[in-house]
Amino acid sequence: MIHTRIQHYLKFLCIISLGLLPSQALATLNVVTSLPEYEALVKEIVGWCSPLCGKRDEITITSLGRGTEDLHFVNPKPSYIRTLNNADVLIQNGAGVEEGWLPPLIAVSKNPKLVPRFDSSTRIMAAQFVDMLQVPPATKADRSEGHIHLLGNPHFHLSPTNAVLIVEGLTEKFCFLEPDLCPTFTRNFHSFKQRIEKKLLVWQKQMKPLQNINVIEYHRTFAYLAESFGFNLVVGDELEPKPGIPPSATHIRKLIPRINTMNVKLILIEPFHERKTPTFVAQRTPAKVVVIPSTVGGVPRTDDYISLIDTIVSRLVAAYTSR
């Protein structure tokens, strides 16, 4: 009898130490995101589960894409089909980033929860929560213009304001899925919003020297970043002649005089882009190449959203001030 009581007591202490009393336990919910930025934003809502959490007592969050990849061209793996088959929720960009690799995986997974439905809480398009930039006119909405995104530039998470809107929208979805945990989700959202608002003031102060300078990019990625921090992104003069089309010698020869005329200060490239072309251009113009990540995990020490923007801002400021 005493031995049994001791066993029950030790079990109770173990539960207390893990913070997993039955009334507080998290339900099993398998959340899959297409891209790492949404994995990071979901973690802001649900929090991090301790490594000691049992499988029955956690919300799992898995991103298919990795920050070091060009997320337009993720290499699909057989394991992704199993991951999607087990998903309770899929969160994707919804503006075309994954259109080349995600739909076939979803189809093969045969998961009825991932069938697109209006206002679905199990297949969620992040694009629905924000206003899109660079929406192409109907006259240019064809593949002859390169990798055109018909709904607009899909890299909207690079605006801190948009990140807050996405987390707010996802919080509403998670509250519908797990109403008992809604107070926790809501509290976490407000905490994230407050931290972003404070950091935004710091970032804007740091970026003030870059306001109104001319900047070009390798690929059309940083429109929302430019809008957030006030530098002038010269649209139509990217290193790519058209979105998704590799730079050509003819295009670069025409671009270099324009860069000199416009007094472009920076050339923005993502870590997975080749360096030969931007280096060639920088050697013949006043522009300096700066490598900045476009998503969480793109470079070391960008494991969450705030550290991602911290890294982007610090790299931009360092590149501009060291010219």
Would you give per-residue pLDDT tens digits along the chain (323 residues)? Answer: 434 443 343 333 333 333 333 333 444 799 999 999 999 999 999 976 544 344 445 789 999 999 999 999 999 999 999 999 999 999 999 998 999 999 999 999 999 999 988 889 999 999 999 999 999 887 666 666 666 778 899 999 999 999 999 999 999 999 999 999 999 999 999 999 999 999 999 999 999 999 999 999 999 999 999 999 999 999 999 999 999 899 999 999 999 999 999 999 999 999 999 999 999 999 999 999 999 999 999 999 999 999 999 999 999 999 999 87
Please tell me the predicted confidence (pLDDT) of residue 149: 78
247 and 169 belong to one structural domain: no
- Using DSSP bridges, classify how beta strands 89-92 and 29-33 pair: parallel, antiparallel or unpaired: parallel
Q: How far is CA 319 from CA 215, 232, 233, 289, 298, in A?
A: 12, 16, 16, 8, 18
Residue 2 belongs to some domain of the structure: no
- Verify that 186 and 226 share a domain, yes or no: no
Is there a single domain that holds both residue 190 and residue 262? Answer: no
Q: Is 115 contained in some domain? A: yes
Give the whole-angstrom CA distance, residue 280 versus residue 252.
9
In a domain, 131, yes or no: yes
Query: Which of 196, 223, 246 is a domain's end point?
Result: 196
Shared-domain flag, residues 174 and 237: no
Question: Where among 139, 173, 196 does a domain terminate?
Answer: 196
Record the pTM.
Answer: 0.87
In a domain, 16, yes or no: no
Residue 100: Cβ within 10 Å count: 14
Q: Same domain for 54 and 190?
A: yes
Instruction: Answer whether residue 17 is part of any domain.
Output: no
Domain membership of residue 250 (yes or no) is yes
**Domain count for the chain:** 2
What secondary structure letter does DSSP report for 30?
E
Task: Check whether residue 164 and residue 216 sit in a common domain.
Answer: no
Torsion angles phi and psi, residue 8, rounded to 5: -65, -40
Residue whose entry in the numeric block shows the structure tokens 């998470």: 157
- In this structure, the number of other CB atoms found within 10 A of the CB of residue 54 comes to 12
Are residue 174 and residue 52 in the same domain, yes or no?
A: yes
Give yes or no: residues 118 and 220 share one domain: no
Residue 12 lies in a domain: no
Q: By residue range, what is the domain housing residue 145?
A: 24-196
Query: Is 111 found in the same domain as 215?
Result: no
Residue where a domain stops, chosen among 176, 196, 216 = 196
Same domain, 182 and 261: no
Residue 62 within any structural domain of the chain: yes
Q: 154 and 35 share a domain?
A: yes
Q: Which helix (H) or strand (E) holds 31?
A: strand 29-33
CATH of the domain at 50: 3.40.50.1980
Same domain, 82 and 173: yes
In the sheet that holds 59-63, the strands lie side by side as: 59-63, 29-33, 89-92, 123-125
